[in-house]
Amino acid sequence: MNLISQLKTASKKSAKPAAPAIEPPAPTVPDVPAVPASPADDIRDLDALAAMLQQLQARNQQYQTAINALIAARRVVNGWDPKPEPDLIWSVRREVLEAMGDREALAQFDQEHAEKIAAEQAARRAAAQLVLEAPARAKALEEYIVDLAAEMARDVDEVFIHEEMKRVFQPSAERMLTAARAFVQAWQEMRTVESTLKGSLRLAHYSIQGDRNTGYDMTLIGKPNQGDLLPNLIEGLAFSDLAELNRQYHGLDDALARQISQRLKEYGISPGVLYVYHPGAASDERPIYAPDPNPPSKRPQEIPFAAATVVTINN
């Protein structure tokens, strides 16, 4: 056996078993926020906001109910409503029998008409009580309205409402920024091409007498109208396409607006105005604003010494 064969044999005998291959760990993919299928998908996690607005809506209804009751009480206090006149037909007849002293007839009358008399007396007491309690009722309603307004002003957190609006609005603003960057880049590219071409292909026209003549208009990009996004002239593009883009720029996406409104309604947030009433300062002695929808008509003020008005009608 030659030297090389001996070395190979020794190498095989002394070789250690190979270690098992360790595969490198698979690279982890970072969590990428899901892109919403529609901007309306950004309307989520509004339970706390909806609870606050629903509470305010309920208090708005309570406030209006209290205002209506206050208007009715003030009408009674001011004598604007006709005084209630309960029906006393059977009560009067009983009083006549009682005055006559005919106990037998009175007993028979009470037996036959007891329910009618009781109903008339109850209506009589209710009518008297309504007029008697009107001032106290108006005062109690005013105190209740002040307390209700204080609760509304205390529990409505407009900072929180604004923060929730910003949270929902931010994804849309970020998408707009991405699109705006692409638009600005394309706009800059287009204007650069126009400027370079106009600078390299300028022609000046003069007469042989030295007068400056007007040459061909080489404008490629017109000037946008005030408030428009794009000019109505961009060579190579149709006027109708540019006008439509400007129209969309000034308008809203009605279909998207309906989708967003539907998502808000699913949380119980309906479109409309909610009112936050404040109790005002303790030193403010003005009455609570509760305009009567049907105030009594006022007779025009008489002017006893005014001259008669002469109206001439020419046929």
Q: According to the model, what pLDDT value does residue 96 have?
A: 78
- Beta-carbon contacts of 51 under 8 Å, excluding residues fewer than 6 positions away, are none
Q: According to the model, what pLDDT value does residue 43 have?
A: 92
> Interior CA angle at 149 toward 144 and 150, to 5°?
100
Q: How many CA atoms lie within 13 Å of 148's alpha carbon, on the beta-carbon side?
A: 22
**Structure-block tokens of residue 15:** 């070789």
3-state secondary structure the chain: CCHHHHHHHHHHHHCCCCCCCCCCCCCCCCCCCCCCCCHHHHCCCCHHHHHHHHHHHHHHHHHHHHHHHHHHHHHHHHCCCCCCCCCCHHHHHHHHHHHHCCHHHHHHHHHHHHHHHHHHHHHHHHHHHHHHHHHHHHHHHHHHHHHHHHHHHHHCCHHHHHHHHHHHHHHHHHHHHHHHHHHHHHHHHHHHHHHHHHHHCCCCEECCCCCEECCCCCCCECCCCCCCCCCCCECCCCHHHHHHHHHHHHCCCHHHHHHHHHHHHHCCCCCCCCCCCCCCCCCCCCCCCCCCCCCCCCCCCCCCCCCCCCCCCCC
Do 74 and 292 touch, CB atoms closer than 8 A? Answer: yes
> Running along the chain, 315 residues long, what does each successive block of 10 average in pLDDT?
47 47 47 62 94 95 96 89 71 77 78 78 77 89 95 95 96 95 97 94 89 88 95 96 96 94 94 93 90 79 62 69
The domain spans of the chain are 41-156
Q: According to the model, what pLDDT value does residue 97 have?
A: 73
Q: According to the model, what pLDDT value does residue 236 have?
A: 95
